[in-house]
Amino acid sequence: MRLKNQVAIVTGAGVGIGKAVALRYAAEGAQVLVAEVDTDSGAATAQTIHDAGGEALFVPTDVAEEAEVRAMVEAALKRYGRIDILFNNAGILIYSKDTCVHELTTEVWERTMAVNLRGPWLCAKYVIPHMLKQQRGCIINLASPTGLRGFPGMTAYSTSKGGITALTRAMAADYSRYHIRVNAIVPGCMDTPMNAARLSDETRRQQRVATTPYGRLGTAEDVAGLAVFLASDEADFCVGGFYAVDGGLMAV
């Protein structure tokens, strides 16, 4: 129960990494606001938490929309009175349309930036004032190897995740003096719904496995354990860090 009596917002909590983190946070004693654009999956995550004896509130949220983010934060405060943890997970990869610069459409670029970079910024923008009042808080952003080194044919996604890298560092520099800890988790190639289209081809899947030194793809649950640690008091001196969950991908 490392997060007992903590209030956590997890965005994109309907599937994949967001769902796994929301469930683990609840299992560790946190009260969880499940933010998800898809109503069915978001409600299902909250129900799973309730069925296990935990506390959760589902709020339909498109993180790219400022009014919806503001309403999400207000709902958390109305229900729980405080916000201790923000896990910025919501993101999109528009597979087969995200490509090299001269072939990339404006629509794909703008939607990717809106969800993957504007969304985490908006969530932090509306959560941080309440963390400042508390003089404590934890924000965890979901970064990516694509934002740290070049990957072909993923211009919009890679650029958005590069922005997350910079945003994490900027927030850590600005807010650590107020005991608001900002860190990022960097997953490798994960066997999650976001990557389902890319990994449906068995040849491509095996190529991804072969380039991961640990010899397998990552799972959402691989990330959840680290997300608990970084949100807990055990990580009190962890600030501005980038923590890889990638089976050794970035080590080679």
Q: Which residues contact 25 (CB under 8 A, 6 or more apart)?
A: 3, 6, 8, 10, 32, 85, 87, 227, 228, 231
- Taking alpha carbons only, the member of 225, 215, 222 closest to residue 245 is 222
Residue 195: strand, helix, or coil: helix
Pair 71, 59: CB distance under 8 Å: yes
User: What are the two backbone dihedrals, phi and then psi, of residue 37, each rounded to the nearest 5 degrees?
Assistant: -75, -30
- Our answer to whether residue 25 is catalytic in this structure is no
Q: What is the DSSP string of 85-117?
A: EEEE------TTT---GGG--HHHHHHHHIIII
Q: Is the pLDDT at 149 greater than 90, yes or no?
A: no
Q: Using alpha carbons, list the distances in angstroms from residue 128 to 27, 200, 205.
A: 25, 39, 39
Q: Which residues of 42-60 are buried (b: 16+ CB within 10 A; e: fewer)?
A: bbbbbebbeeeebbbbbbb
Please identify which of the residues 157, 175, 178, 214 carries the catalytic annotation. Answer: 157
pTM, two decimals, is: 0.95
Average pLDDT, the chain: 95
> Environment class of residue 107 by beta-carbon count within 10 Å: exposed (0-12), middle (13-18) or buried (19+)?
exposed
Task: Give tens-digit pLDDT for 98-136.
Answer: 999 999 999 999 999 999 999 999 999 999 999 999 999
Q: For 62-105, what is each residue's pLDDT tens digit?
A: 999 999 999 999 999 999 999 999 999 999 999 889 999 999 99
- Tens digits of residue pLDDT in 31-73: 999 999 999 999 999 999 999 999 999 999 999 999 999 999 9
Q: Give the pLDDT confidence score for residue 218 in this predicted structure.
A: 87
